[in-house]
Structure 1
Amino acid sequence: MNNQEIVQKLWNLCNVLRDDGITYQQYVTELTYLLFLKMMKEQETEGVIPEGYRWDDLLDKEGLELKTFYQRLLLELGSSENERLRLIYSDASTSIAEPKNLEKIIKSIDALDWYNAKEEGLGNLYEGLLEKNASEKKSGAGQYFTPRVLIDVMVQLIDPKIGERCADPAAGTFGFMIAADQYLKNQTDDYFDIEPQEAEFQKKEAFVGMELVKDTHRLALMNALLHNIEGRLEQGDTLSGNGKWMKNFDVI
């Protein structure tokens, strides 16, 4: 099963939640909470998540106990000491009213072909999901997601360079910065052709952004995390005092 098929399966699960009155945008946000836990397990990076609040802890429970535990998990991770974790789960709450629906979604996610998903890249899988949401007119997410083909052409024309500081002041789901990162990785054998300190700069400082809408910022953080980008990515209005730090960049 390839990533496209996995994205379609994840998307079809939205039908399970129709009776709960959940919108596509709410569904993608809800999926982000669950996929983060599952993807951390698959990448063997669960150390950032407190013990007792990991993917297998969700799988162990069912019915009302599961729903109550999931609500507690969202609160716990939203106050985590780990900054990225805290931001992804900040003010998180579930829109799923029926425990049986929550259980079905968790078990369906667990049953997907994660071996092939990892082979193709979990970041690509997540971007596929964001693209699916943007293409669904009812979701209204098109304003936050620029089609990948258009992004790639613009990145090629702008032609960013290693060592340049790149910023997106209206970041959406962070697609432009992720494409710029991939463009440079393709030129440098995933940064193996450059000095270690240069590679560290690319990972931690080269790509930054700011997004106004809280739920979209959450999706952008998850997207950056799955693409191994750790640059500053804040939520706020770039045109207000929040955006004062956004200056002296090489590429906008």
Structure 2
Amino acid sequence: MTTLRSWLVGSLASLVGSSAAIPALAEPYLRLGVGADGSTTSTFRDRNCQATNPPALFGCGAGRNGQPLQATGAFGTGAVLDAGLGYRLNTWLRAEALFSYRPAYEYRGQANFLQSAPPQPVSANLSSVAGFGVGYIDLPRLRRVQPYIGAGVGVARNRISAVSYNFPAIAPDASTTIAGGTTTGLAWLLTAGVAIPINEQLSLDLAYRYSDLGRVQTDSGSASIARPTGNRTLEIAGTQAALQTHGVMLSLRYAFR
């Protein structure tokens, strides 16, 4: 532990130019957490509704409900796994490199195509990996409990499986399945929580977190179309949706003292 602390102190000192700039109370810590979050409403639309080569999936018109042609739903609720390596800079400020993994989310929604009566269920699977630089402000203690707030910015990589559009009003097995895709882009988060000390080095963190994980995109590619009259394939342009979540995290934080 002493070696790890010395290495982290030396690395921080090299960044700021002198070990004298490191506060006397500076200390590294490791945080491991697990939680769950759920997505806000997420709508798939064409990346370019005017695309013709290959053609857009939805197009620029209005659907059966008078809204723009689209699929509206949510990615549901899933587990979140966290790992953070942080540093207490002084009595009230911390910085942390955070890795966040969401292994399995399920998109469930409804489309509004004109060619079929509702329902038009839409489904897909999603995973997301993100890395953030996060800053925390520790607020005045409430007895033994340490409240804090934080914000971070980073990069998220979102992977969605093939997306299935089903049309039971046409036939039980009528469907259109389009390619999935992987997207990397800007992500950010806001958080607020409390730390409950267990001993001098270990504390329990309970936090609320809002995460904007950027876009989810499907690639241009072959769509598999199944209808009572037969099956065929058609090249289709890509679609996109936003991925935003609210969740609760429970973590153990270990300070190297």
Using the size of structure 2 for normalisation, the TM-score is 0.21
Which protein is richer in strand relative to its size? 2
User: Which entry has the higher C-alpha Rg, 1 or 2?
Assistant: 2
Using the size of structure 1 for normalisation, the TM-score is 0.21
Which protein is richer in helix relative to its size? 1
